[in-house]
Amino acid sequence: MRAQAYLTLLILLLASCSEKENKPEDPLKAYASSYEIIQGEIWDQTCISCHVSGSSFARQSDLILTADVSYAQLINRPPKNTAALEDGLMLVGDKGLESLYESFLWEKINAPDQEHFYADHPGYGSQMPLGGDPLTNGQIEFIRQWISAGAPQKGDVIDREVLKDTSRFERVAFQPLPLPEQGYQFHITPFEVRPNSERELFKYQPLNNTEPLYISGFEITMKSGSHHFILYNFPETFAPSLLPNENLIRDVYDASGNYVFTTLYHMQFHQFVAGTQVPKVRYNYPEGVALKVPANSGFDMNSHYANRTDETMEGEVYANIYTTSASEVTHIAQILNLNNDNFYLPAGKVTTIQKTYTFDKDRHIFQLWSHAHEHNTSFKVFISGGERHGELVYFSNDWEHPPILQLDPPLGLKAGEGLMLEATYNNWEDRDLAFGLRSTDEMMILFGAYYE
């Protein structure tokens, strides 16, 4: 019996060793750098069937992605596409974050931004891979981080765990958001936007919360054609008797284009909470961080549509805020709203405006989002002061769809340091421009969020 027991134990040990020997190793271990991973796991698997020397696709795009030449083919090369070339894009630049939004490669593979790609850049051709499934969300994120890191050929600069997200973007038509299990939903019901006009409106919805709320994230979806959607609240000291009427549509300007001053009155007290300029967004605050909303609050919903067509457009918006319990919160989020409304743009000139904001307390910034109008060609944000003075931390060259940047880990700034905003405008018109609410006026705003 004892011999049989030893034999059984030996068989189990051998089987265990065999299982360990047969267990597949992580295929990414074979790669020495982040770019080798992009080559082996993305270009080689998905792209070189077309982008190979001698193929018609390679000749048409002037881009070969085989391992012997791909890096040199991509870095700091202008695209062959005429529209992208006229827009000043490179295939991939090496300037970090600034290069991301000036990258033709990024435009071509960024499937979640598909609506913007086809609506605003019809001359850019088709998104890639042509005729196939988009890259996985993990692959897109890996490439995004690689470009943002300066697109190095050597060095392991991106966390390989990113590639484990194998989900893919699926385009869906506008549809209502499901009600949040823990949170609130807001809805601006369908409204008309007349041909060749724009419409901006507000709708106030009380929360009826008897206790403070803690917002941990938000989700917004809008019908096509929207310029932006923003949730505002009012200061805790704002008199309840002065709040807007509940669920009443309040236009910013009337049918003749004149401002509605009763609407403007409430706008001067607004406090930014959340917003977007892309048709659909889901944003989560960092773990343990939440925005505190006082008891008995409400949100003023702001929707802005610009209709450049000859037909009536219909607007509609759904927005969810997701809440968490106070016991889960370690940091209270604060809203960043840096609004420069004092600038002048001469007619027929390109003008760059700079303004620096210095903070009197330490800040940990985890969200940045620029807002400007159609004359804006670039919006940059630099660190001001300290050891990282002059470092670019945000860039957008797309006024219609500026990125909502999530900084993880947050950007830490000490008291006495701050942010310098630099916005460039091309005023091609025969009139001077200044700050204004219409999309034909201009703005220079940096929204965001932080904790102290």
At 326 the pLDDT is 96
- pLDDT tens for residues 54-90? 776 787 789 999 999 999 999 999 998 888 999 899 9
Q: Which two tokens stand for residue 76?
A: 């700091």
**What is 172-329's CATH topology?**
Jelly Rolls (2.60.120)
- Predicted TM-score (pTM) of the model is 0.68
Query: Which CATH code fits 335-452?
Result: 2.60.120.230
At 27 the pLDDT is 77
What percent of the chain shows pLDDT beyond 70? 92
What percent of the chain shows pLDDT beyond 90? 63
- pLDDT tens for residues 261-320? 999 999 999 988 988 887 888 888 988 999 999 999 999 999 999 887 889 999 999 999
Q: Which residues of the chain have pLDDT under 70?
A: 1-25, 56, 115, 118-119, 122, 130-132, 171-172, 439
Asked if domains 172-329 and 335-452 share a fold, the reply is yes
d(CA 279, CA 115): 8
At 19 the pLDDT is 47
d(CA 426, CA 447): 22
Return the domain boundaries, the chain.
27-164, 172-329, 335-452
